[in-house]
Chains A and B, each alone.
Chain A
Amino acid sequence: MKNKILITINNLDDIEYYQKLGLKHFVYPLKDFCVGMPNVFSVAEIKEEGYLFLNRICDNEAIDDLKKIIKKLPNNIKGIIFDDLGVLEIVKDLKIEKILFLNHFNTNTLSIKIYLAHVDSVVISSDITKEEMQVIVDNIPNKLTIFVLGYVNAMYSRRLLIDNYCKFHNIERKNPLRIQKEDNHFFLYENEYGTVFYHEPLFNGLELLSFKAKYFFINTAFLTKENIKDALEGNLKVTNDQGFLYQETIYKLK
């Protein structure tokens, strides 16, 4: 199972630690192409084999910049995990693994099958129930990627919401910034490309590791390597929940 885990990297020094845990697929948030990721890397900084992670919705300028990077892509880059379908157009002819992480989409079997004609794997949305995931995985075994651990990106704004808020109130900028309303807790993280609202507590879908998936995805943003070790040993100490695995969202109000 551990050899199927894609794990994002916060610090290049963590890689050896993760290798000792038996992990081998490392995912590098790509500088200038990510939101909500506190640690990002240029291609030149990446020395080990691994995957690039791009979760930004790209404007034309970003697409142009990405084309320049892709032209000189070194051999240690095995694959690319992305949200924007424009990225797929750029990498479609490259002989690297392409994994579509279209956040909040990919909630049904047929749509995923269509995308799979264009990419090597698709990340199933964690907005659906475990039962719904099971149906999809049963229909498309060993092809999909399942998000199993990490803070869930619950909202992505192009706006600089922390910056603007602090400017308006003339207070010191705090990034990340925690907010809550009653029992709903989020923390915001902002960079020049936008603001992400992460839901708290941490999403723990490690029980999905039993599914017949191609990969399992762990987003380590705002977690430590020790948190990950604990989690993989079944001893997760960070407050967590199971998101929507057992709580189906309402489609229509009656």
Chain B
Amino acid sequence: MMSELLAPAGDLERLKIAYLYGADAVYVGTTDYSLRANAKNFTLDELQEACDFAHSLKKKLYVTVNIVFHDKNLVNLEEYLQKLKDMQIDAIIASDIIVVKLASSLSLPVILSTQASTLNYEAVKFWQQFNVERFVLAREATREDIIRIKKETNASLECFIHGAMCTSISGKCILSNYCTNRDSNRGGCAQICRWVFDCEDSHPDFTFMSKDLNMVDYIEDMLKIGVDSFKVEGRMRSLYYIATVIMCYRKIIDGIGNKTLTTKEKNYYAHILDRVANRDTTPQFYHKFPGVNESYFQDRLEVSNQDFLGLVIDYDEKNKMVILEQRNYFKKGDIVEFIGPFMEELTYTITSIFDEDGNSIDIARHPQMIVKLPINEKLVKYSMMRMKIFDKNNEL
């Protein structure tokens, strides 16, 4: 069976985009008990809608219940889990043993969160007695660790393939607690590992921020060694990021599955993924022990771009016009690209732009302004227009 591609989503729109761009499953947090306390997160009503949407596509929805609970946080936990069960959520993601045990008693499947720092087969065996169905291994797991754990336990394994990395072993950091009084294990992580510290003895500033994870070069190998779920990090990420990352990995996984993925194509997706990230990326622990090249030692060095030009909100079939919500500046003459569900990348030269009232304009300069572009191909809602930087066939 082909491995699952698992996407994050911070709200309903991003959840739908994740599924439409190829995710097999999506994980979300609700306004309670989730480690991304500052993400928008889902209300229970939205969660039901998300669950229904996922199941209508025969896809899965997981809910994070992954804070480390204090006594006062336990109030209503069992009722909450029962609600998730009643909604037919496919699994919860948890690290605190009380959540695991309660969920198990309700026959609500549990995925053990990476917060539990699982890095060896005996730890997996410990949790298997609590009916944990899948394990998100510690991000520090190497290829050999994964192989051995699989061999010794036959457990279903989930591994991160893309996104930000904690510098700490997940769950083992309370720097936020000290520096901001926000509880990192209850959703308050303030990303202290991205701060710049003074160092003693007039040493240079001390930074210890990890570069991001990118496993494009190892997906085929991960499939071979039996990774069951490929997890993308980023419940706080934008819809363009989610769409792009999920689409790239979908094409890579499918291309490997049907033996059509060429090196040129893989390189193309690697370029796209590099471009959508605002930090450098590396495979981190999978193939070698991370050294100097896997972290930043001089400030944050984050770079963003304006590649995402617009979100398709509708298509006017009568006039053959795509209706876009602008996200970044574009103008007549730009060579752009449409991406979207169920389609290949489509190159397009902007010959004319019309505003919402049908007036011809030269430039779309205002964020979220509604514009129309003439195009014969019917584009579905949630397609996106971006700058054309790379070409799949020519490796620009």
Contact = CB atoms under 8 A, between A and B. Distances in A.
B71 A136 contact: yes
A177 B200 CA distance: 7
Nearest to B115: A105
A104 B175 contact: no
Nearest to A115: B97
Contact of A181 (B144, B179, B297): B179
Contacts, number: 205
B73 interface: yes
Interface string A98-141: 00000111011111001100000000000110001001100000
Interface stretch (B155-163, B180-188, B324-332, B353-361): B180-188
Contact of A178 (B200, B285, B291, B297): B200
B208 A157 contact: yes
B337 interface: no
B182 A86 contact: no
Given A165-B297, A178-B200, A249-B182, A111 B69 contact: yes
B117 to A, nearest CB: 5
A136 to B, nearest CB: 7
A59 B37 contact: no
A158 B182 contact: no
B69 A60 contact: no
A154 to B, nearest CB: 5
Interface in B246-300: 285, 290-292, 294-295, 297
Contacts of A160: 291
A88 B182 CA distance: 31
B196 interface: yes
Contact of A168 (B71, B201, B210, B292): B292
A127 B37 contact: no
A179 B297 CA distance: 14
B186 A251 contact: yes
A88 B126 contact: yes
B186 A103 contact: no
Nearest to B197: A179
B122 A63 contact: yes
B71 A135 contact: yes
Interface residues of A, number: 62
A178 B200 CA distance: 6
Contacts of A167: 291-292
A63 B120 contact: yes
Q: Which of A135, A152, A164 has the most CB of B within 10 A?
A: A164
Contacts of B125: 86, 89
A180 interface: yes
B252 to A, nearest CB: 27
B378 interface: no
Interface string B67-93: 111111110000000000000000000
B96 interface: yes
Contacts of B285: 158
A57 interface: yes
Contacts of B69: 107-108, 111
B145 interface: yes
Contacts of A154: 173-175, 177-178
Given A105-B96, A115-B97, A156-B169, A86 B178 contact: no
A60 B145 CA distance: 6
A142 interface: no
Contact of A108 (B73, B172, B187): B73
A58 B145 CA distance: 10
B197 A169 contact: no
Given A169-B297, A178-B199, A86 B169 contact: no
Interface string A58-73: 1110110000000000
Contacts of B152: 60
Contact of A156 (B38, B173, B193): B173
Given A156-B172, A179-B198, A184 B178 contact: yes
Given A164-B291, A249-B181, A60 B71 contact: no
Interface of A: 57-60, 62-63, 84-90, 103-105, 107-111, 114-115, 127-128, 132, 135-136, 152-161, 164-165, 167-169, 171, 174, 177-181, 184, 186, 194, 197, 199, 244, 247, 249-253
Top-9 shortest CB links A-B:
A86-B122, A86-B123, A249-B183, A89-B122, A179-B197, A168-B297, A156-B172, A178-B200, A86-B120
Interface of B: 37-38, 67-74, 95-98, 101, 116-117, 119-127, 138, 140-142, 144-145, 148-149, 152, 167-169, 171-175, 177-179, 181-183, 185-188, 193, 195-201, 203-204, 206, 208, 210, 285, 290-292, 294-295, 297
